Amino acid sequence: SGNHAQAVALAARELGTTAVILMPEDAPASKRAATEGYGAEVVTYDRYTGDREAIGAALAAERGLPVIPPYDHPAVMAGQGTAALELVEEVGELGALVMPVGGGGLMAGSATAAKGLYPATRIVGVEPEAGDDTRRSLAAGERVTVPVPRTIADGQALTTPGALTFEVNRLLADAVETVTDDEIRTAMVFAFERLKTVLEPSGATGLAALLAGRLGPLPPRVGVILSGGNVSVERFAELCAR
């Protein structure tokens, strides 16, 4: 994801080295530009034909580099979970917490943090309708692989949940809902016009589910994590104009 890539790139620069970031060749140009702007080297691959993990492992072995996965690592999950931790520390107990789901790290970390403080909190993840691998996996009780999703939510265009994230989410997540690309666009417009917040499609899926009524009866206090603003002016205008 763009958020993870840029964080790793910035951390590497602060340590006086250069991060090598593996990114889908069809990732938004703004994500790549921002990542390179922090000093990283970006290596691209075809998400529809390439195996990201295999390519990353081979690249790391070739250059003698450690691998920092985007979600499937305890420390990464813990870091992503600080979004929920900071929210509940600021506003108190929530009846439900809604967030986007890609590889599952944000939901795993956030569920651990929120339920660690308030066990009754209902954890709801949201995926694009075309890429509901986590929803299917939780229903099946095992990791399920779907075809590479065709969706505007490129940060959630994954085929299967992470191995570690899935084990946490199968214990702590209460539900995973889906939204259409049009519902995501509606949420992006709402956030821009009403909240004065620019969201990339993947960051808007939780809000999209809330606005579209996909979450069913809700408790009085609901938190929604808006995760990601990696979108260019041109891309944002193109998506919202539709």
Q: What is the pLDDT of residues 91-121, one digit of tens each?
A: 999 999 999 999 999 999 999 999 999 999 9
Q: Pick the closest to residue 82 from 99, 103, 102 (CA basis).
A: 99
Extents of the domains making up the chain:
2-63, 74-241
Per-residue pLDDT of 54-75, as tens digits, reads: 888 898 899 988 888 889 999 9
Q: Token pair 């599952």 is at which residue?
A: 104
Third-level CATH fold of 74-241: Rossmann fold (3.40.50)
Collect all residues with Cβ–Cβ distance below 8 Å to 202 and sequence separation of at least 6: 1, 100, 102, 128, 153, 154, 155, 156, 227, 228
Per-residue pLDDT of 161-183, as tens digits, reads: 999 999 999 999 999 999 999 99
Band (1; pLDDT cuts 50, 70, 90):
low
CATH code of domain 2-63: 3.40.50.1100
More confident residue, 5 or 80: 80
Asked whether this chain's domains 2-63 and 74-241 adopt the same fold, the reply is yes
pLDDT at 241 over 90: no
